Amino acid sequence: MLTQGQIQAASDLLYRHWQEDRRLAALPEALRPATRAEGYAIQALLEARSQAPLFGWKIAATSRDGQAHLKVDGPLAGRLLAERVHDSGAVLAFGRNHMRVAEPEFAFRIGRALAPRATPFGRDEVLDAVESPHPAIEVPDSRFEDFTSVGAAQLIADNACARSLVLGWAAPASWRALDLAGHVVVGSVAGKLRREGSGANVLGDPRIALTWLANELSGLGLGLGAGQMVTTGTCLKPLPLAPADQVLADFGVLGTVAARFGL
């Protein structure tokens, strides 16, 4: 079991690599989390490094393909820091992006807080707490050279491969009558490719993914705060990126979201 000093040292090492845009093979053995709980303990120290309250949460590995690619057996939760969230149309520096993909995602703004508790949350209860859904594009990345081999605990410590989130406007209130599992989403990189997916790729339904997160956090003694945003994982095969690319995610009646990349 890691001591608090080891947890802090692991967080410091990962954060330093994040700030310097560098990679490491794995956390040193003495600092390496052995369980998901230890991974989350390392991740939690990110909040104190932000200049703003926690913006929200992301979910990684919500598709079978994503879980197979990362060699994990289920989803992973990560924190969204306000400094890494952008409005639709933003120009993002490409930098030394290691994963080099964009992921169209269903995001949800929480309107009513869900405090941690002993009994699991049901889907309807979680949806009642939602203020609005938003189209989003996540741009993930990892501090690990081979993020497919380090395992769930280290990926969680690495903030579940968080990098940037681009957020669109709130969808109309009619969203509650939609079949989000069957809802088609089109992602494109201008002049290069176009891909289709649907909400069914997100744990079968993005609303199921949102409920999973509420229960994952509750098991850690954490809640979803009013005003926080949750992005639920890619709903189509990730779009490969290169510097100067322009990405558009079209969620139909739920709106669109776009981003452009610099160097």
Helix, strand, coil percentages (3-state) for the chain, rounded to 5, are 30, 30, 40
Q: pLDDT for 195-245, tens place per residue?
A: 999 999 999 999 999 999 999 999 999 999 999 999 999 999 999 999 999
- Verdict on whether the full-model pTM lies above 0.75: yes
Query: Tokens 């994503």 map to which residue?
Result: 66
* Measured distance CA(33)–CA(125) in Å, rounded: 33
**Domain ranges, ordered by start, for the chain:** 52-261
For residue 182, the model assigns a pLDDT of 98
For residue 99, the model assigns a pLDDT of 96
For residue 71, the model assigns a pLDDT of 95
Q: Phi and psi dihedrals of 122, rounded to 5?
A: -90, 160
Q: Which residues of the chain have pLDDT under 50?
A: none
For the domain made up of 52-261, the CATH class stated in words is: alpha beta
For residue 204, the model assigns a pLDDT of 98
Distance in Å from the first CA to the final CA of the chain: 42
Rounded to 10 degrees, the C-alpha dihedral 88/53/123/221 comes to 150
